């Protein structure tokens, strides 16, 4: 069995079944991750329809979790419209966020996780339902003519402070995942955002591939964020575009990364976050097994 500190990220399921995968098939997804040997997995509620599907299934999911002796330390609550300037939209999103926290509590999770907030982008159509925003998608975005940044920033940070307070009321941390185009996509950006939000349970979900692609020094990020990270998404990258490769298939200096991980005495979880339609990884199950073997070999203080 895979060490309990090594989790199977939900990207495994997304790669197999698309984005978002059908919430109704979650028990099957759990079985599949467990069959790979994982004792620790990640689950998600992706926007309203998928999240409500997970909310309806939470008792069954919790029962299957116990039957398989699984841990779900982090439940992803993906709600990009939390950054909306429309008060009615925000209020609805906050209600959905609380439902996500209830699911996380039911699953005995340590925290909830979402992509870092988006700026007040406007897109030619509806907000695209995508895992991450490619450069061509962002290039098509624009900002409202009446945008007043200080008002937007104050509204955004107060909304995320409220999210943190909701999460804290359920005994949860709130993990920010870095991605291209978001407002906490690097170490500097997260620390700036965290100071503005002002909540101790706001944490950073360090993502090796995304940050490496954005030229964020991973070793320095670990050192600077050692008191703010409990969960790492691990995959490789070649440094030119978004991709999530098996460690060793990209150009990340893993010797430096794991040496720094040991230096800061990291005690959190590492999620294998390999795949996606942007990544050429070959056989998915083999990619995950190889990634686990790599982590177990190199993570000395596991």
State how far the Cα of 80 lies from the Cα of 84, in Å rounded to an integer.
Answer: 8
- Partner residues linked to 177 by β-bridges: 115
Q: What is the pLDDT of residue 146?
A: 86
State how far the Cα of 117 lies from the Cα of 120, in Å rounded to an integer.
Answer: 9
CB 177 within 8 A of CB 202: no
CB 66 within 8 A of CB 135: no
Q: For residue 28, give every residue at least 6 positions away whose Cβ sits within 8 Å of its Cβ, in sequence order, or none.
A: none
- The rounded mean pLDDT for the chain is 94
State how far the Cα of 270 lies from the Cα of 209, in Å rounded to an integer.
Answer: 13
Residues 149-195 have pLDDT tens digits of 999 999 999 999 999 999 999 999 999 999 988 999 999 999 999 99
Transcribe 252-281 into DSSP letters: --HHHHHHHHHHTT--SEEEE--B-TT---
What CATH number was assigned to the domain covering residues 6-298?
A: 3.20.20.150
For residue 269, pLDDT beyond 90: yes
* Spans of all domains in the chain: 6-298
State how far the Cα of 138 lies from the Cα of 116, in Å rounded to an integer.
Answer: 15
Find the radius of gyration of the CA atoms of the chain: 18
Q: Within 77-126, where are the H helices?
A: 87-106
Residues 239-262 have pLDDT tens digits of 999 999 999 999 999 999 999 999
Cis peptide before 131 (omega within 30 of 0): no
Residue 135 binned pLDDT confidence (cut-offs 50, 70, 90)? low
CB neighbours of residue 168 within 10 Å: 16
Q: What is the pLDDT of residue 184?
A: 93
């Amino acid at each position: 069995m895979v060490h309990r500190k090594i989790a199977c990220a939900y990207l495994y399921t997304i790669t197999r079944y698309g984005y978002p995968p059908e919430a109704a098939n979650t028990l099957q997804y759990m079985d599949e991750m467990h069959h790979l040997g994982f004792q620790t997995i990640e689950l998600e509620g992706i926007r309203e329809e998928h999240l409500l599907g997970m909310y309806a299934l939470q008792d069954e999911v919790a029962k299957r979790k116990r039957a398989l002796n699984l841990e779900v330390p982090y439940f992803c609550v993906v709600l990009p419209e939390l950054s909306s300037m429309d008060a009615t939209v925000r209020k609805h999103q906050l209600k959905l966020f609380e439902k996500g926290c209830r699911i996380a509590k039911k699953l005995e999770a340590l925290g909830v996780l979402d992509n870092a907030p988006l700026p007040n982008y406007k897109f030619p159509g509806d907000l695209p339902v995508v895992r991450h925003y490619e450069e061509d998608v962002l290039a098509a975005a624009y900002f409202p003519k009446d945008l007043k940044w200080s008002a937007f920033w104050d509204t955004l940070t107060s909304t995320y402070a409220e999210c943190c307070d909701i999460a804290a009321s359920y005994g949860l941390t709130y993990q920010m995942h870095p991605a291209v185009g978001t407002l906490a996509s690097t170490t500097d950006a997260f620390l700036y955002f965290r100071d503005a939000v002002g909540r101790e349970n706001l944490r950073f979900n360090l993502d090796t591939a995304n940050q490496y692609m954005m030229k964020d020094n991973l070793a320095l990020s670990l050192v600077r964020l050692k008191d703010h990270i409990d969960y790492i998404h691990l995959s490789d990258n070649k440094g030119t575009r978004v991709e999530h490769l098996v460690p060793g298939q990209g150009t990340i200096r893993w010797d430096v990364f794991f040496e720094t991980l040991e230096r800061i005495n990291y005690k959190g979880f590492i999620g294998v976050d390999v795949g996606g339609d942007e990544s050429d990884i070959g056989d998915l199950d083999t990619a995950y097994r190889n990634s686990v073997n790599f982590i177990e070999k190199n993570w000395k203080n596991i």
